[in-house]
Amino acid sequence: MCRMILAHGQFDAAAVLEAARAMSCGETATHEGPIKQHPNGWGCLWLEQGHIRTLHGTGTFADALPGIDVDRLRGRFLAVHVRHATLSKNQGIEFSHPLWRTSGETQWYMMHNGFLPTVYQQLGMAASRFDSAEYLEYIVDRATPADFTRDYLRNKMAQVAPGGSSANAIFVTREKAWAWQWHPADTPYPNYFTLHRFQNNNTTFISSEPISALGTASEWRRMSNHELHEFPLGE
């Protein structure tokens, strides 16, 4: 299970990193979920001179934050992910998000919050190794950015067998990014698995938790289930 935040437009990159740190430490947790701290790895994705750049690490984001060069992240798009490994065996740099996968001519990146232990069945696998990587493969293989609509994602998730908790995700390509809210009706912690959105004229934040340092409670809105937002990344 994880926490993540996306920023688009005009924003203070240091404030977004601090928001991710606060979520990772459980300082902003007002949900009903039992997991408050997310210490098992982290990752950042941003645009730099027209290219997607990423950082990945193990351990806690709080420990890593002082060593991150925030000046590199001062663009118009930034996403940060902090992990609590659902399965203890899935810890290490190879499990830190964003994950990435090439499909056709498109390089896809994804940050995921949730657990999808049955999605491997859609890939013809005998067993699951890492559900988030299997989710990314299932969603983007043989897909193009033009396919990425709410109906496409809803139809894909409707084919996945029950047993998962959430498919909340940030998907990124060089030209566009998407924030996708999805959990099954029987998810055990609907507040924990609901994204929140802040919007003003120049800035959008989408976050696993509303962050008061970025906007007052009245400025944050809970996203509806199966809600999809698209962001242009052309500079």
pLDDT tens track of the chain, all 235 residues? 799 999 999 999 999 999 999 999 888 878 777 677 777 789 999 999 889 999 999 989 999 999 999 999 989 999 999 986 666 666 778 889 899 999 999 999 999 999 999 999 999 999 999 999 999 999 999 999 999 999 999 999 999 999 999 999 999 999 999 999 999 999 989 999 999 999 998 999 999 999 999 999 899 999 999 999 999 997 5
Sorted by sequence, the CB contacts under 8 Å of residue 12 that are 6+ apart come out as: none
* Domain range for 173: 3-232
Q: Which residue has the tokens 């924990």?
A: 192
User: Smallest Cα–Cα separation from 139: which of 116, 126, 162?
Assistant: 116
Determine how β-strand 2-9 pairs with β-strand 203-207: antiparallel
Please say whether the dihedral angle defined by the alpha carbons of residues 18, 23, 26 and 27, taken in this order, is positive or negative: positive
Give me the CATH number covering residue 74: 3.60.20.10
Decide if 218 contacts 16 (C-beta within 8 A). Answer: no
Q: What is the pLDDT of residue 87?
A: 62
Which strands sit side by side in the sheet containing 203-207, from one edge to the other? 51-57, 42-48, 77-83, 2-9, 203-207, 196-199, 220-222
pLDDT of residue 50: 85
- The pTM score is 0.95
State how many domains the chain has. 1
pLDDT for residue 234 = 77
Q: How far apart are CA 10 and CA 147, in angstroms?
A: 28
- Spatial contact of 211 and 187, defined as CB atoms under 8 Å apart: no
Helix, strand, or coil (residue 231): strand
Question: 13 with 74: CB under 8 angstroms?
Answer: yes
| pLDDT of the residue at 90 | 66
